[in-house]
Amino acid sequence: MQNVRKIEPIEGVHGLEEPFEMAPSAFSANRKTLMMWVFIISDALLFGSFLAAYGFERFISPTWPDRWKIFEPGYLAAMTVLLLSSSTLMAVAVESLKQGLKGRFALFYTLTIACGIVFLGMQAHEWAHFIGEGARLSSNPWGVPLFSALFFLITGFHGFHVFTGVLVLIIVGLLSLLGKASTDTVELTGMYWSFVDLVWVFIFATIYLL
């Protein structure tokens, strides 16, 4: 069993005359991993409430713009493919590092960052296209003002998460190049990066497909 803490006896303290073992945590996860999950759950609830707000507006609104008249299906599919591939590459990179394959780790890690940066560029281009069509925070040419407001809010928040993710990936990459980042740190970074991808899966289906 992991995470069993041995408590050493302390002289003169009542109840601590003999050594004993603390029961393992029910989660039996490493402390850092557990905290990362707490952060991810809170972030997931933030996006969950955004998407619930979107769903509500959609439900009470008599009309809703046809997304495929505004966006290009192929372009969005490419963005999804890019982000999904990026988190696959990250997962392979983490596994390579665990097995001690430094060269393979560096290759896949660099590809992960590259995919993230290309995704950000594509999102910026999409926003430019959307604004060019006449969408603003408080109005748009398709009749439902809240559609563009929620679109900017949700994809903007997600885009900023991707941006932060790329920055974290670069910083952790440099630290591990200097030998200052442990395997755990890289793995937690991978968890965050996959989470960003997970959020995109929900945003893609809710905003564009449904």
Partner 1 sequence: MEKQDYVSAKTFLVVWAILMILTFLLVETSLSTLPMKDFLIVIMMLAQAYLVSFYFMHLRFEKLPLILSVVLGVLLTVLLLYFVIIWDGTRIVKLTS
Does position 185 interact with partner 1 (CB under 8 A)? The reply is no
Least Å distance between CB 129 and partner 1? 18
User: Residues 21, 6: contact at Cβ < 8 Å?
Assistant: yes
Report the Cα–Cα distance between both ends of the chain, in Å, rounded. Answer: 46
Nearer to partner 1, 28 or 139 (CB): 28
Helix (H, G, I), strand (E, B) or coil at 29: coil
Q: Which residues contact 192 (CB under 8 A, 6 or more apart)?
A: 36, 40, 165, 168
Does position 183 interact with partner 1 (CB under 8 A)? The reply is yes
Candidates 8-16, 150-158, 164-172, 183-191 — which segment interacts with partner 1 by CB under 8 A? Answer: 183-191
Nearer to partner 1, 78 or 131 (CB): 78
Nearer to partner 1, 131 or 144 (CB): 144
Does position 110 interact with partner 1 (CB under 8 A)? The reply is no
CB count in 10 Å sphere of residue 134: 11
Q: Which residues contact 97 (CB under 8 A, 6 or more apart)?
A: 105, 176, 183, 186
Type of residue numbered 56: F
Least Å distance between CB 21 and partner 1? 18
Q: Which of 105, 130, 147, 195 binds partner 1 (CB under 8 A)?
A: 195
Helix, strand, coil percent values for the chain (each to nearest 5) = 70, 0, 25
Chain residues in the site for partner 1 (CB under 8 A): 2, 26-30, 33-34, 37, 40-41, 44-45, 48-49, 51-53, 55-56, 59-60, 68, 73, 76-77, 80-81, 84-85, 87-88, 90-92, 95, 98-99, 183-184, 187, 190-191, 194-195, 197-198, 201-202, 204-205, 208-210
